Amino acid sequence: MSENRADGIGRARIQHEFVAEAEEILERLGGDLEDLADRRASGQEPSPDLVNRLFRSAHTLKGLADSVGLDALGELAHAMEDVLDGLRLGRLALDSPGVALLAEAPGMLALLLRELSEAGSDEDAPQTVHELCGRIHAALQTSGPLGKVPDALRSLALDANVLAALTEYEEHRLRDNLRQGRTLVRVEARFGLEAFEQG
């Protein structure tokens, strides 16, 4: 078997595996985006689990596309990831135009996967895919940050070292729980170095 033919067979197998995994992600993503749209329409806040699941799906899809050199698919997944990251960190409101544009993504992603199955690449991606990415980026630029809210973390008697150890996402979740009036419990545990992992 010639080297070129072997490369071609290897590429075809990788693309087949990519399409199978991407279709699975796309199915989950589509259902979750419908849930997000329903919550948006009814004025309900989405659960952190839903937003995180959406973010992980877009992030995984972007990584997969990048690993097999699918630029258009990776570009769209990256644009989605930017919107969902803003939403999960509280930098973007649920009613922002960027979030609304996410509804168009599953159809575009399905189109790209069809293109990949038929042509073996996404190089001839429809212009509409790049236009959607452009509209998402433009919406993110015009959305700006959410209005300044009083920093609820100041009301907590937390050591500065504890606050400094929080990630941006953990800070946002803490603020959001305070805003919703949830009861917070502080638990302190000390473990000896020799038993730290078991503890």
Average pLDDT over residues 176-190: 76
> pLDDT class for 2, splitting at 50, 70, 90?
very low
Considering the chain, what is the average pLDDT of its residues?
82
- Residue 6 is predicted with a pLDDT of 45
- Residue 59 is predicted with a pLDDT of 95
- Residue 148 is predicted with a pLDDT of 43
Q: What percent of the chain shows pLDDT beyond 90?
A: 35
- The answer for 120, left when phi > 0, alpha when psi is -120 to 50, beta otherwise, is left
Name all contacts of 167-173 with Cβ < 8 Å and 24+ positions apart.
168/89, 169/88, 169/89, 172/88, 172/89, 172/90, 173/48
**pLDDT, tens digit, 9 for 90 and up, residues 135-176:** 999 998 886 554 444 566 667 777 777 777 777 777 777 777
Q: What percent of the chain shows pLDDT beyond 70?
A: 84
Is pLDDT at 122 greater than 50 in this prediction?
yes
**pLDDT, tens digit, 9 for 90 and up, residues 48-61:** 999 999 999 999 99
On whether the CB atoms of residues 85 and 62 are closer than 8 A, the answer is no
Name all contacts of 96-99 with Cβ < 8 Å and 24+ positions apart.
96/139, 96/143, 97/139, 97/142, 97/143, 98/136, 98/139, 98/140, 98/143, 99/36, 99/40
Which region among 88-92, 129-133, 174-178 has the lowest average model confidence (pLDDT)? 174-178
